[in-house]
Amino acid sequence: MRKGLFITFEGGEGTGKTTQINRLAQALTQTGHKVITTREPGGTPEAEAIRDMVVQRDAGTWTPLAEVLLFFAARLELVSKIIKPALDDTKIVICDRFSDSTVAYQGYGHGVDLETIKQLSTLTLDGFKPDITIILDIDPKEGLERSDRRLAAEQFQVKQREDRYEQLDIEFHKRLRQGFLDIAAKEPERCHVIDATQDIDAISGQVADIVSKAVGATD
Ligand code: TMP
């Protein structure tokens, strides 16, 4: 029986995931919960090394299936070394992206067979899933404009090299948005879609409502 709570945030580019994750972590910590935040791909030195290989612009181009294997390798590291031990220690784990991103980006976006992704997920994670998934939904054009503005404002070198996926064409981003919406339609208990065009406070209010119900159930 899992003792903690595993929450993931998903969505396309420029949906404001990071802001919402930080707000939620802060709110939960203030109410006395033990919280850790992490990200995918990444979260352990090994998985961060995979991130360097797949996400940065100068990392070259992988075949989509090879990319799926790399994402699942990174995920297995993160789940085994960080997420499961934290849940066993009754912590709330908040993760920026998880398996749904592979379904949306590599499956819907790059055309990798969805059944193959499912089989790899079973093989590596044995049915391990988030308790709650927040999907921040935005029209891709608006999301990409937001993320361009953010990059220009930050002038942050590493982030600029990490935006390989953000360079992909708008049709790709439309497909992955549809992917997230399809996932949510299939798993309405776990997945909650929030309109990411709302102001930041409205979004964090909705996130807090969703999470507080689940936290209440585990307290
Ligand atoms: P981030 O910019 O939200 O941190 O995510 C890194 C990039 O990696 C983002 O463009 C989405 C992509 N990605 C996938 O394509 N498949 C995956 O399974 C994951 C976790 C991320």
Q: How far apart are CA 203 and CA 50, in angstroms?
A: 31
Name residues whose C-beta falls within 8 Å of residue 166's C-beta, 6 or more positions apart in sequence.
13, 14, 144, 147, 148
The model carries a pTM of 0.92
pLDDT digits (tens, 9 = 90+) for 45-58: 999 999 999 987 66
Q: Which of 9, 44, 165, 183 for mutating ligand 1's site (highest number of atoms within 8 Å of CB)?
A: 165
CB neighbour class for 152 (10 Å; exposed up to 12, middle 13-18, buried from 19): exposed
Ligand 1 atom 9: residue of nearest CA: 165
Q: What are the domain boundaries of the chain? A: 5-218
Determine whether domain 5-218 maps to CATH 3.30.360.10: no
Can you list the residues of the chain whose pLDDT is less than 70? 1-2, 57-59, 154-168, 217-219
Question: Which residue ranges have their beta carbon within 6 Å of ligand 1?
Answer: 39-41, 55, 71, 96-97, 101-102, 105-106, 165
Helix, strand, or coil (residue 87): helix
pLDDT of 34-89, one tens digit each?
Answer: 999 999 999 999 999 999 999 876 667 899 999 999 999 999 999 999 999 999 99
Query: Is 73 within 8 Å of 40 (Cβ atoms)?
Result: no
17's tokens? 């995931």
Centre of ligand 1 to C-alpha 87, Å, is 23
Q: Do strands 92-96 and 191-195 pair parallel, antiparallel, or not at all (unpaired)?
A: unpaired
> How far is Cα 31 from Cα 69, in angstroms, rounded to an integer?
38
